[in-house]
Structure formats: C-alpha cells, structure tokens
Chains A and B, each alone.
Chain A
Amino acid sequence: MVGTSKPAPLNHVPRSMTSSPLRVSSPRHGCPVTVVTAVQSGAAPLSPEVTQTGGGAGMKLLTHNLLCSNVRGLRPGGGFPLRIQASDVSVRPVPFNAAFVARLVPRLRWGALLEAAESLGHPSELPPEPAPDYEGDEAFLRRVHHVLLEVEVLEGFLQCPDSGRQFPISRGIPNMLLSEEEA
C-alpha cells in the first residue's frame, strides 16, 4: 500500500532542480534578493557522526500549509505558499478520522492545499472551496484526509514565491535555515 519511488541516494541531484532555471525576482524597494543555487541553499553538510536511517516519513501537506518563507524583506503575503518541487514522493496510509479532518478544514489555507496537491501529481478532486455542508460529506473528508496526511514529500525543494529562495527537502526533512548573510 505504500508506494515509494526509489529512495534518492545522498548526493542525488533531483532532476527538477537541474532542468528548471531558478526564478529570480527583481529587487523590490531595495530588498536584498539572494539567488541561491541548489548546492548552497543552506543545507548543513551531513556530519559523519550521525547517519539518518532510511525508511522514515516525509513532509506532509498539512505541514506545508503552515510553512512560509522566512527570508527578509518580502512583500506582504510574498512568502506563502511555498512552491513544492518534489523529486521523491510517497504515500503512506493513515487511519481515517472524519472528525479530525472536519475540524482542520476551516483552519487550512485551502488554495494553497489545492495547489500543493496538484504540484505533487496528486490532483485531489477537491472543490475550489469547501462546500457549506462539508462536515457530513465523508467522501470529501476522505479526499482531504488523503491529501493532508498520506502524501509525503521525501526529496525536493520548497521555493519562496517572492524571493525565489530554495529550501531543500532531504529524507523528508525541509531545511529552512538561512545563511548568516541572509538572516
């Protein structure tokens, strides 16, 4: 039931990264824009002492819905939502809990969720807005559940829509640390 693409080895450069050019936004109101290449995007070098074991979980879209860019000097609303460029996505089942999902719906940034699901190749068949009676619609809730909790991003990048800054996701863990200069 778990569909995983081949786990990316440590120094694998995701295809999406090399093929698409980095989006560079022009400076706005004197805000410094940092153009960062994939390699230098703030990923801390893996220290020899601790190896991360494989088989772990990846970033879920519920988390993505809460994340925003922390780059300095963005224009209002410019840091959300982060664009996902994923090279390794897996699906891991999670027991369905209708009440749980129903309570989450009003807190979600709905548009961002739809966009994220689409970008991962999991078009969610979700409506542009939740219907007024969504709480009782189990089929709807199950689709939301799937997209929020069962799709995991293992490898890829999160990109700040305003600055273009790329944050790598490695083994399911996004690295949102800024460098000294950026911070």
Chain B
Amino acid sequence: MAEAASHAGSPDPGAGLAGDGAELAAVIGATVPTGFELMAAEEVQEKLGSASRISRDRGKIYFEVPAQALPQVHRLRSVDNLFVVVQEFKDYQFKETKEDALKDLEDLVKKLPWTDPLKVWELNNSLKKKKTKRKKHNLQSTVRKEKLNSNGEEKEADQKDIKREEDCAQDTAGVEPADGQDTEKTTEVASQNEEEEEEGNNEQSDAKDDLQAGDGTETKASDSRTSNGEAKMLKFRVTCNRAGDKHSFTSNEAARDFGGAVQEHFQWKADMTNFDVEVLLNIHNNEVVVGIALTEESLHRRNITHFGPTTLRSTLAYGMLRLCDPQPTDIIIDPMCGTGAIPIEGATEWPSCYHIAGDNNPQAVKRAANNICSLLKKNENKESASPGIPLDIIQWDICNLPLRTGSVDIIVSDMPFGKRIGSKKKNWDLYPACLMEMGRICTPGTGRAVLLTQDKKCFAKALSRLGHIWRRAQTVWVNVGGLHAAVYLLRRTWERAEEKRLFW
C-alpha cells in the first residue's frame, strides 16, 4: 500500500557527503559490559569530549559526536558494539493487542528520520574500507602520544590500531576454538543481551548466530555504490532485542513486521546473512531505540588471537583496569592471567605502566606468550623490528609468588570461577591464600587490587578475615558468559604484610 518510496535505495548520492560530513552529527549508541557504563562514559568524555547518557536498558550508553569523529569512536576500548541512533522513544505506548502493536511498529518506519543516520552509516563504511586496505599493506596506522610529558619532550608510541573487527577472525594462524562452555564467544548474542532481566522474559530474534565476521559483508558494503555514485540495491536485516513482560509480541514478530515495512519503504532486499545495513530495534519495556549497526562483530575479542577456555573479553579487561586508575610507572600484575587478556589490554592502553602476567598453567602461559607475539607482529613494519612492549610473562604459583614484598602497585585479575576452571571446593582454600599473597606483594597504603569473581560468597568470606590488609572500596556487578559475577576494587591498608619471607 505504500507509495513508491521517495527513499528508494540509499540516500541521494548527490547530497555532497564530503560537505555534509563536516557538520553531520551522530547520536551513537554503544553497548558496554553491564556495570561499567560509568567507566565507559568517562572514557567517552576523556577521548571524545562528549557527555553520555546511560540508558535504563543496562549495558548501553548514548553520546553525540560529530560524524568525523567516527574513527576515534571506533578506538574506544570500553565498548563492545556501536550503532547510530535513528530515533529514541523514552516512553513508547504500545497498543494492547499484538496486531495493533505490530502495525504501529510498521507504520513507524516511514516516519523515522533515516537520512542523517544513513549518511553516518555510509561514512562508517568508507572508514572500514580504508581499514581493510591499510591492514593489507601492514602499515602502522595510529600514532598515539603518551600522556606523560618527559622533560618537555613528547614521546610518541607508534602503535598499530589493533582495534579492528576483522582482526579477531582473520588472524587465524593459531586460533584455537573456544569450547562450547565459553558462551562469551557467540558475539552478538552475548554482547547485546546477556542480562537475565528480572522483570520478565527477554528475547532476541534469532538468525544472529551465523553472522560472519568482516570480509564478506565488507566488500558488499563497499560495492554498494556503482562508479557514478548511483545507489545500488542494498541488503538489510532487522535485529530486534526485546525485554519486558508487558509486550504482546515477540522479538521475532517485531523484527519480521518492522523488517517488512523497511523493505517496502526503501525497496531494499532482505538478507539474513549477507547484509549491508543492519537495522536495530531495541525494546526495553517502554524504551524503544531504532538504530543502524556500525560494527559487525563485537570488538571485545580484539587483542586475543589465541583463546583459552575462559578468555576474558577485552572490554571487560579495560573496565577493570580503568577501575584501579593506573598512574604512570605503576607496576601492574595479573597473577592468574590465563591467556593474558588483562595484561595485554593494560600494556596497550597504559604503556607508561609496567605489566607482569603470570599463571601456573603451562598452556595458559604459552597462549599468553603467543598473544603477545601477535601483538608484536602487528606493530612491525618493514624498517625495523617492533618496539618492545612493557609486559613480561612468568610461570608461577599464585600462593607463593616470587616477588618482593610490597613491590607491586596494582593487582588485576580474573579469579577462578569454580565453574569453568577448578571447583568451588578449591576456591575455599585458594581465595584466602591468594588474597594473603597478593596483600604481601602489594604496596601498603597506595596499592590496590581489582578482582573479578563469580564465587562471591567465598570471596567475601576470605576478605572478611583479611580486613587488616584489604578493605573493600567498590563493587561492580557484571555478567560474564551468562554468569553473575562481581568485580571488587580493594585498597591495600597501610599495614605492613606479615612477612613470610623477611624483607630485604
């Protein structure tokens, strides 16, 4: 029944994208690890100068930036996925019956302000094209300046921009597939909707699982225009996340009907797997947000090419590190590093600190070493070998660390959960011993620890006995692979540790 849409195909190519790009602003939505919204907002403020709104739909923040700031947006370390907001409805009134509610959503499509967001989407595509080219030539892309001024001399650390969607999938040299238990690995499913909402059922439309990384879709997107700029037929799909118990429809139904209307309106072709445009329909109780995806695969695995069974996602690692507020020359230890997600994120983002990673498991140590190797390779260029990274690895026992007493500033670690590694029974003995030893090596007064654990009971009990060494400063409730976990920020008291080995 819709008339020939005036919006057939992509926005008018003659709109002078280059000229518009300067003034074009975008409202960006970003998914972040639940619990770290404030951290993410801080990073956005710091790096982009924009204030963020934190949505009631947990794990999402919104901020406005000029479209030309998109490259910096992609370099944010605390975000999993990005989308450009088409429109937000703070208090959408759904009709009572399913038919009416769905019809409403269908009718909504032609009323939405698609033009500018689609321009942002196009701009984003051209960025991705550039990235792919650059990666092929293996050039160094970003030069990051150290925050620390050294006697007036600006130090420049040449670092490859390793924040690329395609890295995770393409660097397959040594990729070991995470086993089925690692639910974090399923990208969109995990990142967009991990929380089990207390209010009611929480669904997603399916067909997100086979979303492939990078390549195929990228070339599609870059081919979306013919040589003279005429819009070609675009392919799209709609992804719907719905949470709340008062809706009369499912996310599948919403996606289907909304998608139908999108197709009518733009005359695009629906394609679940090889799409150019991913339209997002996020419904959280009465909050409705329509957006267009800017990332294809979650950024959260960006640093890791060699996975282990419980590899922590980089965005969570970043959040944990930020929580302890590292200062230049701080010595940062992860004594149970696994594949090294935390120390690698640390060394990359806080290169003016010194990082040491350790684990007792030889497999983990090797994987961590391989991940560092991959990092070094990325930083290589033709002229010289890659510069060193302030990160060392050691094989050790957390309960008997070969480190001098009081020599370390910060401890950041993902503690064994008991579900995937070890067992709850072992945690009972392990946690007190860990906390003691960590207390010993940590600098009294100024030292701090940020520890992630799912075994909150065990942790709390262990902590209660060590009140003279650690005090709890902050707790962040997070969701890791479907498990409800907690991140504890602890501060080291001024009390000297009971010397196991005498101080020298």
Genuine A/B complex: yes
| Bound: A67/B402 CA distance, A | 6
Partner of B352, one of A100, A107, A152, A183: A100
A84 contacts the other chain (CB 8 A): no
A36 contacts the other chain (CB 8 A): no
Closest A residue to B174 by CB, please name it.
A53
Residues of A close to B402: CB separation below 8 A: 67-70, 167, 176
Cβ contact within 8 Å between A46 and B362? yes
B67 contacts the other chain (CB 8 A): no
Residues of A close to B373: CB separation below 8 A: 53-56
Q: A76-B502, A77-B502, A149-B388 are known contacts. Are A100 and B396 too (CB-CB below 8 A)?
A: no
Would you give the shortest CB distance from B383 to chain A, in whole angstroms? 9
| Bound: A138/B155 CA distance, A | 14
Residues of B close to A76: CB separation below 8 A: 502, 504
A-contact bits for B361-375, CB 8 A (1 contact / 0 none): 011011101101100
Q: A50-B363, A176-B402 are known contacts. Are A77 and B504 too (CB-CB below 8 A)?
A: yes
Cβ contact within 8 Å between B394 and A62? no
| Bound: A63/B333 CA distance, A | 11
| Bound: A177/B352 CA distance, A | 29
Residues of B close to A79: CB separation below 8 A: 501, 504
Cβ contact within 8 Å between B155 and A97? yes
Question: Tally of A-B residue pairs with Cβ under 8 A?
Answer: 157
Cβ contact within 8 Å between A174 and B394? yes
Closest A residue to B356 by CB, please name it.
A63
A98 contacts the other chain (CB 8 A): yes
Cβ contact within 8 Å between A66 and B328? no
Closest B residue to A136 by CB, please name it.
B151
A95 contacts the other chain (CB 8 A): yes
A96 contacts the other chain (CB 8 A): yes
Number of interface residues of B (CB under 8 A): 56
Would you give the shortest CB distance from B426 to chain A, in whole angstroms? 16
Number of interface residues of A (CB under 8 A): 57
Cβ contact within 8 Å between B356 and A66? yes
Closest B residue to A153 by CB, please name it.
B392
Residues of B close to A109: CB separation below 8 A: 404
Cβ contact within 8 Å between A68 and B403? yes
Cβ contact within 8 Å between A2 and B174? no
Cβ contact within 8 Å between A171 and B385? no
| Bound: A70/B394 CA distance, A | 13
Residues of A close to B360: CB separation below 8 A: 177
| Bound: A172/B395 CA distance, A | 11
Partner of B384, one of A1, A77, A138, A176: A1
Cβ contact within 8 Å between A176 and B387? no
Q: A99-B149, A173-B365 are known contacts. Are A94 and B396 too (CB-CB below 8 A)?
A: no
Would you give the shortest CB distance from A29 to chain B, in whole angstroms? 13
Would you give the shortest CB distance from A162 to chain B, in whole angstroms? 11
A88 contacts the other chain (CB 8 A): no
Residues of B close to A63: CB separation below 8 A: 356, 392, 394
Cβ contact within 8 Å between A44 and B400? no
Cβ contact within 8 Å between B363 and A178? no
A34 contacts the other chain (CB 8 A): no
Partner-B contacts on A (CB < 8 A)? 1-2, 44-47, 49-57, 59-60, 62-63, 66-70, 74, 76-77, 79-80, 92-100, 103-104, 107, 109, 136, 138, 149-150, 152, 167, 171-178, 183
A-B contacts, 23 listed (Cβ < 8 Å): A52-B370, A53-B173, A53-B174, A55-B376, A55-B377, A60-B392, A66-B403, A70-B396, A76-B502, A92-B385, A93-B384, A93-B385, A95-B155, A95-B158, A95-B387, A99-B148, A99-B150, A100-B150, A104-B329, A109-B404, A150-B388, A175-B395, A176-B394
